[in-house]
Structure formats: structure tokens, C-alpha cells
């Protein structure tokens, strides 16, 4: 056993976290890939699903399937109850004041698009939106579409070489035309955890509302939207061990209430004639059409699953994995880690001298190790670091020190054959 | 090296990727085109100098993985002196080779390029190998766009 493996094993005892027990909850983890056991280190792309989530979705379709909020029959009642129970679970998960503030959508991308479309209807040419250099394309492109449509300007908060936001420059970006700050809670490339609470406090002084992209935060951090005091918070189910195609937009009730409808259709209305439509109240006004009921049920099951774990121990364990990974990766010749922020989740991006990330990805896959390679939908950040692509290992509480050992061995091997 | 990987990263491919041939900008090129693979961020610029209907010189520059660099390097080696028509036929043959169509080309006709066939087992990597070839095809087309992507 390697030194690191021993260290982390000791940590497991210290933190009381038993990764091997948790792994048993995740069926996909137990398979061979290219003749080796799967080491799934691509959790920031999407996390694997525990049996409880898979079962909840199956159970819903086997027993309760019906449309929600309509129909006088028992199955419709059950489906509606299941869907609204999931909403209440999501409310508690982020500590929103009211379940009306929880909108079910396809995911973070749709949530940001909804806000961009809603706020955008009020924007005037010359209005400004502040973004940061480390945003995912999902938190850049919707605003850019607006700038094309209604002439708003996009201002960008820079990033330090260590991978933190240049917070000292934030105030200089605000002025009387600033209509919104949209910032990621956790960088999907660097793993940096941004001080969202401080950022919101600064923005408040300028009356600038804040949207937070929480897609990468919810699998790792406890999120309390009231404590953060942000105006919007968006996240996806599939990155937090739930199904794909379901996500949440949290918004403060008065703000959500002030937004025009996003899509029109059934479910979002109170009364329709050809002359006029009265729209439904929150949250249904933003959920036109039959929603992803099974997805919401699965997300609810993922929340239940997470809340049944010792999340403090899980977070400590992940931090130990991160420290080990950083240390071990640092030993690989020619390897450079991007982003050394002090506060990070267990995500490490790196480049290897003379080896392209794509080739690394293929060689690692041959050893059963799944990582992400490419620009990670964050091309402005790639440009900042002057690299076309990186390799990213992103960990969850079910990953093990042995998997990090294998990643490092795989990288040595790749270097051997490719350089 | 484990099997499959050996086919993909043959010594010939690795040689071309470490020391790409004709890796330079070209003054006075008749055609230049940028090729871009949005999936992995690979980008290259292909330069062609035509004399009449013949390709007198060809070179490239860019950043890419071993497969895309080697493929572009081999393309430049192979293309010099061919007629536009022969180059277009070669594109078809290589495309067939990389995507594994039913009527596979005569292996002898492809020579060194045959080494690229290893990508067929790697669907995620086929676009790396085809990037420079799509750039070539676009550069020779009547529309002559300024850039081309693999998507």
C-alpha cells in the first residue's frame, strides 16, 4: 500500500467515513472498464447514482405514474404528492423560505436562461451584467444572447493566477447601470470555492442582485440560500447523485414574482381565453407543460440519500482525497496543476508538458480511469491560463486513495509512451 | 503497451506528433484555412500553395493532440505534388479508412496513412484524425470558407 493510501486510510478512521461501504450503494462503480476496475474520477461532469435514486425513479414509473396537478384519480394524486414532496425536499436542502421559491427545470443551464430571459425583458441598452472569468459557458452565453438582443454590456471580474476571484476589483465593476452579478459558487475547472456570502454583501451595497451557479457546489457543500442572501441559486440534479434532466432554480419570492413567464403552456395558467391569460402563481407559473416528474422524484431521493450520510465526515474525507491527489500529482514529471486556491472542493485540473489532454484521457481510459479532458465549457478560463485543454480529475465521497494511486500510475505510464 | 493503444499510438504516429513535418506558416499561400475541433479545443491552420491545378506546397501550424498533429503532418507529406483532383480522392480514401465504411480503400494506396486506422476503435478520437482532412477538403472546395469545424 502506498504512503498516501495509508494516510487516507488513517483519515477514514479519523473522519469516521467508510468509502467502501458507501460504494456499495452505487451500482455503476462496480464494473470492469478495458479490463480494469472502473475508477470514476469524472464526477464534476456527472455523478453516479445510488441504488435509492434508481429505485425511486423505477418505483414512480411502476406504481404512481400519472400527470400532476390534474385528474381526479388516485394515481394523479400520488404523482402530484410525490412531485410536491420533492419540491419540499429541495426547499429544505437549500433552506429556502418557501417551496414557492423552488422552480423545477431541466437543470442549471435552463435556470440561468430563465433568469436571463426574465430579467432581460427589463434591460435597456447600456445596462450591465457582471460575470467572472471562471464561469462555465452556461453562465456566459445566456447573457451574451441578451447583449445581442438588447444591447447590454458584459463586464468580467478577473481571476488570479492561483485561481481565486480578484475580489478587490469587484466594486470597480459596479455602477448605476449594473443590473446583475452572475457568479459561480464553485469553479468546475479549478474547484475554487468562491466566497459567495462576501460577494453578495458587496453587491448589496450597490443594489445589484446576485445569481449563483451552484451546479458544482451542491455535491460538496451545504448550501443555505438564506445565509448566502443571494437572489437566485441554480443547480442540477445529476451532479448531486440525482437523475439528469432535472434541476432547480431558487429565487427570492418577490423577485421571481416580478419576472414575466418563461414559457407558455399548460400548468402555468389560471384561466385562458383567446383574449387573455391569467397566469398561475409561483412556482407553477414557470413550469409550463408536463414537468419531469420522475426526475423530481429521483432528485428528492438523492436529497434523502445525502441527508442520510454524515456529510461533515464526507466533506473532510473529500478534502483528504484532494490533498493526497495534489501531492501525488505534483510528483509526476512535467505535470502542472492549474488553480491553487486555498478553498477548493475535490477537483484538480492539470496539464502535462508535451502531452495533450486528449491523449492522456485515452491512455487513462485504457487503465479503467475516467477523467474529463478538454476545455470544460470554460474557454475564457482556458485562455487565461494559456492552455487549449486540461485533464480534470473530480472526486466524490465514494472515491478512494487507491484510485488516486492508479491515476498517478496511469499518468506515469502515459508520459512513458507518449513523450 | 496494451493492445488497441498500440494500434492508436504506433511509433510512426508518435514520431509525427513529436516532430511534425511541414510545421510552419507559409508566405504567399494560395489557400489558408483554420480547422477547429470544439470538442477538445484542437485548432490548426492549413496552408496550400497551388500552381495551376497542382499542390506545390502545403504546411500547417496549430495546437492539438498526438493524433490530430500526426494526421496533419502525414497529410502535408502526402499532399505535395498531387493534383487537386487526386487530393480530393485521397480525402475520400482517408475518410473511409478513419470512419470504417464498407468499401474500404485499397490499403496499398494509402501507404503511411494506413497507420491512422487505429482510431477506428476509438469513436471519441476519430474527429482528431479527420480535422486536418476536413480542413483540406474545405480549402479545395469552391466556397473556400475561412474556417471549418469537426462538428
Is 60 exceeded by the pLDDT of residue A6?
no
What distance in Å separates the CA atoms of residue A90 and residue A96, rounded to the nearest whole number? 8
Local confidence band at B4 (pLDDT 50, 70, 90 cut-offs): confident
φ/ψ (deg, to 5) at A23 = -60, -30
Candidate from A359, A375, A379 with C-beta closest to B65? A359
pTM for this entry? 0.93
∠ at Cα A234 (A228, A237), nearest 5°? 120
Contact A374 B40 (CB under 8 A): yes
**The residue to which cell 419540499 is assigned:** A88
pLDDT tens digit sequence for A177-204: 999 999 999 999 999 999 999 999 999 9
What is the percent of chain A with per-residue pLDDT over 70, rounded to a whole number? Answer: 96
Contact A362 B63 (CB under 8 A): no
What distance in Å separates the CA atoms of residue A151 and residue A128, rounded to the nearest whole number? 9
What is the percent of chain A with per-residue pLDDT over 90, rounded to a whole number? Answer: 90
Which residues of A fall within a CB distance of 8 Å from B9?
359, 417-418
pLDDT tens digit sequence for A29-73: 999 999 999 999 999 999 999 999 999 999 999 999 999 988 889
Better-scored residue on pLDDT, A388 or A225: A225
Better-scored residue on pLDDT, A148 or A114: A114
Task: List, by residue number, the catalytic residues of A.
Answer: 377
Integer angstrom CA distances of residue A302 from A53, A55, A308, A410, B131? 6, 11, 10, 32, 41
ipTM, 2 dp: 0.89
Q: Which residue of A has its CA nearest to B2?
A: A366
Interface test with A, best of B14, B65, B121, B150 (most A CBs within 10 A): B65
Residues of A in CB contact (< 8 Å) with B are 34-35, 354-359, 362-363, 366, 373-375, 379, 382, 388-389, 417-419
Candidate from B2, B40, B67 with C-beta closest to A389? B40
* Alpha-carbon gap: A306 to the closest alpha carbon of chain B (Å): 33
Asked if residue A270 lies in contact with residue A214, where contact means CB atoms within 8 angstroms, the answer is no
Candidate from A35, A355, A373 with C-beta closest to B40? A373
* Alpha-carbon gap: B141 to the closest alpha carbon of chain A (Å): 28
A87-96, B6-15, B124-133 — most confident range: A87-96
Question: Residue B68: in which H helix or E strand, if any?
Answer: helix B66-79
What distance in Å separates the CA atoms of residue A199 and residue A246, rounded to the nearest whole number? 28
Half-sphere CA count of A254, side-chain side, radius 13 A: 2
Q: What is the mean predicted confidence (pLDDT) over B76-84?
A: 96
Q: Which residue of A has its CA nearest to B67?
A: A359
Which residues of A fall within a CB distance of 8 Å from B44?
none
Contact A363 B124 (CB under 8 A): no
Q: Which three cell numbers stand for residue A223?
A: 448550501
The confidence score (pLDDT) of residue A9 equals: 54
Is 60 exceeded by the pLDDT of residue A12?
no
* Alpha-carbon gap: B65 to the closest alpha carbon of chain A (Å): 5
Contact A356 B65 (CB under 8 A): yes
Q: Which three cell numbers stand for residue A195?
A: 466566497
Contact A388 B8 (CB under 8 A): no
Dihedral of CA atoms B70, B75, B77, B82 in degrees, nearest 10, equals: 170
Local confidence band at B6 (pLDDT 50, 70, 90 cut-offs): confident
* Closest C-alpha to A259, from A393, A146, A110, A123: A123
Integer angstrom CA distances of residue B140 from A257, B50, B84, B89, B112? 56, 10, 7, 12, 22
Question: Residue A74: in which H helix or E strand, if any?
Answer: helix A74-94
Contact A358 B63 (CB under 8 A): no
Which residues of B fall within a CB distance of 8 Å from A359?
9, 65-67
Residues near A10 by beta carbon (within 8 Å), at least 6 away in sequence:
none
Local confidence band at A258 (pLDDT 50, 70, 90 cut-offs): very high
* Alpha-carbon gap: A406 to the closest alpha carbon of chain B (Å): 16
Beta carbons within 10 angstroms of residue A253's beta carbon: 14
Candidate from A358, A373, A417 with C-beta closest to B1? A417
Which residues of B fall within a CB distance of 8 Å from A354?
18
Contact A418 B9 (CB under 8 A): yes
pLDDT tens digit sequence for B82-118: 999 999 999 999 999 998 764 555 666 788 999 999 9
Query: Which residues, listed in sequence order, are joined to residue A132 by a DSSP beta bridge?
Result: A157
Question: Residue A333: in which H helix or E strand, if any?
Answer: none
Amino acid at each position: 500500500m502506498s504512503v498516501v493510501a495509508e494516510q487516507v486510510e488513517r483519515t477514514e478512521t479519523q473522519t469516521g467515513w467508510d468509502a467502501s461501504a458507501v460504494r456499495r450503494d452505487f451500482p455503476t462503480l462496480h464494473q470492469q472498464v478495458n479490463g480494469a476496475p472502473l475508477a470514476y474520477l469524472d464526477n464534476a461532469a456527472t455523478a453516479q447514482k445510488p441504488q435509492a435514486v434508481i429505485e425511486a425513479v423505477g418505483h414512480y414509473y411502476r406504481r404512481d405514474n400519472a400527470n400532476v396537478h390534474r385528474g381526479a384519480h388516485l394515481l394523479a394524486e400520488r404523482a402530484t404528492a410525490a412531485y410536491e414532496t420533492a419540491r419540499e425536499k429541495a426547499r429544505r436542502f437549500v433552506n429556502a423560505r418557501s417551496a414557492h421559491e423552488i422552480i423545477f427545470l431541466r437543470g442549471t443551464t435552463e435556470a440561468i436562461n430563465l433568469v436571463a430571459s426574465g430579467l432581460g425583458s427589463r434591460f435597456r441598452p447600456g445596462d450591465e451584467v457582471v460575470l467572472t472569468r471562471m464561469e462555465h459557458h452556461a453562465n456566459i452565453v445566456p447573457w451574451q444572447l441578451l447583449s445581442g438582443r438588447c444591447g447590454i454590456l458584459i463586464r468580467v471580474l478577473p481571476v488570479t493566477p492561483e485561481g481565486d476571484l480578484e475580489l478587490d476589483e469587484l466594486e470597480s465593476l459596479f455602477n448605476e447601470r449594473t443590473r446583475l452579478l452572475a457568479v459561480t459558487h464553485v469553479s468546475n475547472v479549478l474547484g475554487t470555492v468562491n466566497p459567495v456570502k462576501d460577494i453578495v454583501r458587496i453587491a448589496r451595497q450597490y443594489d445589484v442582485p446576485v445569481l449563483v451557479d451552484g451546479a458544482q457546489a451542491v455535491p460538496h457543500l451545504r448550501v443555505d440560500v438564506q445565509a448566502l442572501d443571494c437572489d437566485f441559486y441554480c443547480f442540477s440534479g445529476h451532479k448531486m447523485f440525482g437523475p439528469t434532466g432535472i434541476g432547480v432554480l431558487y429565487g427570492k419570492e418577490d423577485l421571481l414574482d416580478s419576472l414575466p413567464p418563461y414559457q407558455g403552456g399548460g400548468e402555468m395558467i389560471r384561466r385562458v381565453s383567446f383574449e387573455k391569460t391569467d397566469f398561475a402563481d409561483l412556482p407553477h407559473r414557470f413550469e409550463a407543460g408536463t414537468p419531469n416528474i420522475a426526475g423530481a422524484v429521483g432528485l428528492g431521493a438523492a436529497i434523502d440519500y445525502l441527508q442520510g450520510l454524515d456529510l461533515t465526515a464526507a466533506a473532510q474525507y473529500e478534502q483528504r482525497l484532494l490533498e493526497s491527489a495534489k501531492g501525488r500529482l505534483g510528483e509526476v514529471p512535467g505535470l502542472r496543476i492549474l488553480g491553487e486556491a486555498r478553498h477548493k472542493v475535490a477537483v484538480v485540473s492539470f496539464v502535462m508538458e508535451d502531452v495533450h489532454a486528449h491523449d492522456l484521457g485515452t491512455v487513462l481510459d485504457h487503465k479503467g480511469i475516467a477523467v474529463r479532458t478538454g476545455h470544460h465549457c470554460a474557454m475564457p478560463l482556458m485562455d487565461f491560463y494559456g492552455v487549449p485543454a486540461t485533464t480534470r480529475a473530480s472526486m466524490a465521497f465514494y472515491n478512494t486513495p487507491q484510485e488516486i494511486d492508479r491515476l498517478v500510475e496511469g499518468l506515469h505510464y502515459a508520459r512513458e509512451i507518449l513523450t | 503497451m496494451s493492445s488497441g493503444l498500440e494500434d492508436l499510438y504506433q511509433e510512426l504516429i508518435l514520431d509525427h506528433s513529436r516532430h511534425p513535418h511541414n510545421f510552419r506558416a507559409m508566405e504567399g499561400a494560395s489557400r489558408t484555412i483554420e480547422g477547429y475541433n470544439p470538442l477538445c479545443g484542437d485548432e490548426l491552420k492549413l496552408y496550400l500553395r497551388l500552381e495551376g491545378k497542382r499542390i506545390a506546397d502545403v504546411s500547417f501550424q496549430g495546437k492539438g493532440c498526438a493524433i490530430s498533429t500526426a494526421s496533419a503532418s502525414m497529410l502535408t507529406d502526402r499532399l505535395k505534388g498531387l493534383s487537386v483532383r487526386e487530393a480530393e480522392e485521397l480525402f475520400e480514401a482517408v475518410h473511409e479508412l478513419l470512419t470504417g465504411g464498407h468499401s474500404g480503400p485499397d490499403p496499398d494506396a494509402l501507404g503511411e496513412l494506413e497507420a491512422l486506422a487505429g482510431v477506428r476503435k476509438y469513436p471519441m478520437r476519430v474527429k482528431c484524425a479527420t480535422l486536418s482532412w476536413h480542413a483540406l477538403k474545405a480549402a479545395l472546395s469552391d466556397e473556400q470558407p475561412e474556417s471549418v469545424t469537426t462538428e
